[in-house]
Structure 1
Amino acid sequence: MAKEFKNKMRDLMKRAWMLVKVYGFSMADAMKQAWLVLKLKAALKNGIVKFMYAKLNGEVRTAWGTLKEGLIPETKGTERKKNESLVTYYDNEKQAYRSFKVANLIKIG
C-alpha cells in the first residue's frame, strides 16, 4: 500500500513539473491540474466517466470515456512508449480511442 501511494505521488510530481516546464503553469496550478488528471485516470479505470476538455481548435468537448477492461475492445500493438503529456481514453460515443493534452482537462463529471 505504501509503495503504491509513493508511486502515485511520484507520478503526480512528475506530471506537475512537466506542466510547469512545457506549458508555463505556476506550480500551484500545475499541482491542481496534475491531481485532476490523476483522479480522471483512476475514475476511467473504474467505469464510464463524463469529463470536459478543450480541443486544440479551442472548442470545449464533453466526453464519455472509459479504460475499464470489460468495456473496451482488445488492443494490439501497445509496445509504444506512452506520451506523458497526453491522456488516452476509449470514447463510448465515438466507439474509438481518443486523447487530449493533460493541460487541456477542464472538469470531471
Structure 2
Amino acid sequence: MALFGLLFGLASSSIVIVLFGFLYTLVSNVFSNGFHIFQAEIFPTPVRATAAGWGYSLSRLMSGVMPFVLLPILHADGVVAMFSAVAAAMVLIMIDIGVFAPRTTGIALETVNDVAI
C-alpha cells in the first residue's frame, strides 16, 4: 500500500494515475479484510463480537478524522508528503502487528489467547 500510494502520488499521466490508484485500492481492500479477520481471531470468545465491533468502529472513526489530518498536509506540503504520511502509518501498523500481535497461524481459535499470555 505504501509503495502504490507513493507511486500514485508521484504519477503524472492519466494511465499511470489510474493504474496505481487501482493497485492501491486493491491492496488496501485485501489488507482491510485480512486485518479485520485477524482482529476477530485475537479476542477471547466471550467478548469477540463486542471487541471486534469496537475495533471496527474505531477504524471507521479514524477514517472520518483522516481528511482533517491529511488535507492540511496535502495543502501545505503536497501529494508526496501526504502519501508519505500514509506510508509511514502503514509501516507502523506492520511493525505493531509483527512485534506485539499473537501468532495465530495453525492455532485453534479457542487457544489463541492462551498462547498469547
TM-score range normalised by the length of the shorter chain = 0.3 to 0.5
TM-score if structure 1 supplies the norm length? 0.35
Instruction: Looking at secondary structure, tell me which structure has more helix per residue.
Output: 2
* Structure having greater relative contact order (Cα 8 Å, sep ≥ 6): 2
For the pair shown, the structure with the greater C-alpha radius of gyration is 2
Instruction: Looking at secondary structure, tell me which structure has more strand per residue.
Output: 1
